Chain A
């Protein structure tokens, strides 16, 4: 079983401070800037011959699946590059870290889905009339769903490097480049692989939502599973949707088995522990790689070449002598703060001038009210999910056999793009004429509830054997057992899962509160629907407002509920 690193946003106990405000201004200013660029340039439609036609014939599906997967991996590489550069800069430079980390924190709670149409226009204008621009736009959308938590995880690893290894690297005079590949990256590897896996799941959601996009009067579709589903919805073709779900299942099963299982098992080698832990059996793919001559030769050759690159003595000569008495230069600090302050003021000015002409205070009130509706939805759903999955998860986790079967399934379900499962729900709501306000809600949590389940399973499975024996010995049963033993025991794990689940639910609300089936459109009252409708109407100030309000809601819940709870849980429920 892989280890469950906490999602990157879980740790830290920071309360909101002025840097968060500055970061919020900068991020919003940047997004508005993007909108401005998108609006001020003329939209160039794709040359007619290049726009692809999507076919619902299942024979096309393997090809579509392949293209969708290729986009995913392109975005993943971009995210890795971003992670290695952004997080390294933030960790190595105190001044950069001061502003970059709050920005990252805001970015990961901004629902980028709302900005899809603008980023698309931006990229299309980079490559006028070419499909390449649309491809880039799609990849960028996926990137925005993957990069932040990976960068956060890497940043946290870099700031918790073991001091003795850092000292050894310096004493043996490793260059900056060598240290990066020999110490920084390996140490971050388990957390990074785990977060990459989470990112991959998040990415599927976006790829399905971003392959078919309407800008102005033009709808363009990139060949892929997302466009296939969009067309199937439009044509009310339930069979095609079933095929798409099937294709997706196969794709996820393949990359899970061929890539991530071996990767997670392999990354265990980098886990920083000094004792050999009980060996878990290698996934079959890793066995195949480790024991087959052909694979061995390939990997050894590749490893040798990569090793040569890692050993390059780049960035040598950097001053490594620690001088505890050196005070950071006040002057440079002052200049740096001034630059940030100017940028923030400019962003503020920009935001005000953007919003003031068109928006009233009542719009803010409406957005906040909608936010409260969505908040109620998320809260109710989380409560229901907790009541359902905690007992089930504990039951499974305490039985090793059941855990072995259930755990991979729960993880698999978490990776499945939930928006593919929406159509059957929508059909049912239309058919039974029930209220979309209530019945669209479960869609928000349909994909993310699994995080609660598999984290609870992991927590129960990790429950110490001697404590279980003590519970049995003192005959602690029933409600007392839950209150005093099980719930405190799994609390850190539950909170870890709940943070991921609730964050995902907010983001999903943009697609879950509005659904369509052919010409029928369903929509629930909520902030997600607010943003989705503003997007459809092309009402940019309202999109910006909606997105800002949603970010504020997410950040506030994280700061005043989840982080203190997580800190409390990990302090109180661990010995020592």
Chain B
């Protein structure tokens, strides 16, 4: 990969990038569609989107780990054919080697480059000190807290002096306080020009984090993943979260992210709806959110950023919840606001058994998959049906992971509504029998 590169060319340029997951039986599942991106020296770029919007896939394409189905990726003007020497990566799960000490973990990138021992130790030492890990050299990752582990991940990436630092949701596995400290430390080092990197690209699903750290944000929409909008963040570092302009920008991005989803939030017709991916959201959480929404101070209407802050949820967690509620017709999601509907109100005010009945009706009306399962069970003489056929049918329309998740969700919702029973061992749906034998 050590080809002659052009120093004046952008660090990364991605043209018409498309990533599809090939299915034998049916059409391809498209993860990324027509993505264009140019990254210059001296900027922090954020890829913001929901899970499943393909932003992590794009990061892997840029890192050289993944080859796109089509499109062109250039690193400093030269087509990328594998991980480039000038790119280093920080992982969401930290990806530290548990059997290596902090120092050995940080050294590993230098070892791969064949750097001599003396220089290796010197550079490792300074990276460890820079990132605030001094004194932890001989510790093993499992002795460290999450925050300290991610510092090791950062030091490991910085020690190779990469031109481009890639970060895949680097703070999402950390608690709120630790994440905040790490963000501030990193931004301080960046503004003081102490980081040995030219540019940073980070993936995040946290809107505030993106506005806090990035100079430019690409907002992704899902199914297929595309760049919905590109925003410049005009604020100087250090940024103040409570600045009204900052809040307004966060609100706007919430709006963008919910507006883009509005068309699919309409009640789906059975013909197309069978293949809708269901988010595995527990009925307890749905009920809890509806109760919160109906009660004071919201009285049926809530601004999503405010609701997220109050419930200590992130946008990524709250959005699918709101979408599930609006798909089931319990609430309406529009322009970053959530409104309760009549059936939502009825559900909140009902007793346990009544709630189940309401939920059952809703499922049959709004979730074609649940209705289909119930219909098949009613038609069969023995009232039994294998889950395999439903999974196969789902897999014609979505990836096996999503099909599995959707099936799990419909099992759990159907159980709550007492529409049908499910036997995990036999992978079989069945109707509840009246005179059931106790064993």
Q: Which residues of A contact B (CB under 8 A)?
A: 162, 164-165, 167-168, 170-175, 178, 182-183, 186, 189, 269-276, 311, 313, 319-325, 572
Contacts and interface: CB of A to CB of B under 8 A. Distances in A.
Contacts of B425: 572
The 8 A-B pairs with the shortest beta carbon distances in the complex, nearest first, are A164-B95, A168-B95, A172-B109, A323-B67, A171-B89, A186-B99, A270-B99, A321-B82
Contacts of B100: 182
A408 to B, nearest CB: 26
B95 A174 contact: no
Interface of B: 19-22, 60, 63-67, 69, 81-83, 85, 87-89, 91-95, 97-100, 108-109, 111-114, 140-143, 156, 160, 425
B428 to A, nearest CB: 15
A379 B95 CA distance: 47
Contacts of B64: 321
B308 to A, nearest CB: 27
Contact of A321 (B81, B85, B108, B114): B81
A273 B69 CA distance: 35
A175 B111 CA distance: 10
B81 A172 contact: no
Most buried by B among A171, A175, A320: A171
B6 to A, nearest CB: 21
Given A171-B89, A173-B109, A320-B83, A325 B65 contact: no
B142 A275 contact: yes
B89 A313 contact: no
Contacts of A174: 108, 111-112
B242 to A, nearest CB: 35
Given A164-B91, A172-B88, A178-B112, A325 B69 contact: yes
Contact of A322 (B65, B98, B111): B65
Contacts of B94: 164
B109 A325 contact: no
B387 to A, nearest CB: 15
A273 B98 contact: yes
A276 B113 CA distance: 31
Nearest to A272: B98
A40 B85 CA distance: 59
Contacts of A324: 19, 21-22, 66-67, 69
B63 A182 contact: no
Contacts of B89: 167-168, 171-172
B97 A313 contact: no
Nearest to A271: B98
A450 to B, nearest CB: 31
B91 A168 contact: yes
B88 A186 contact: no
Nearest to B100: A182
A168 B160 CA distance: 14
27 contacts: A162-B95, A164-B91, A167-B65, A168-B95, A172-B108, A172-B112, A172-B156, A173-B112, A175-B112, A182-B97, A183-B97, A186-B97, A269-B140, A272-B98, A273-B98, A273-B142, A274-B141, A275-B142, A276-B142, A276-B143, A319-B82, A320-B82, A321-B81, A323-B66, A324-B66, A324-B67, A572-B425
A311 B109 CA distance: 11
Nearest to A304: B117
A178 B115 CA distance: 14
A325 B95 contact: no
A325 B20 contact: yes
A186 B140 CA distance: 14
A320 B91 CA distance: 18
A320 B64 CA distance: 9
Contacts of B114: 311, 313
A311 B100 CA distance: 14
A49 B160 CA distance: 65
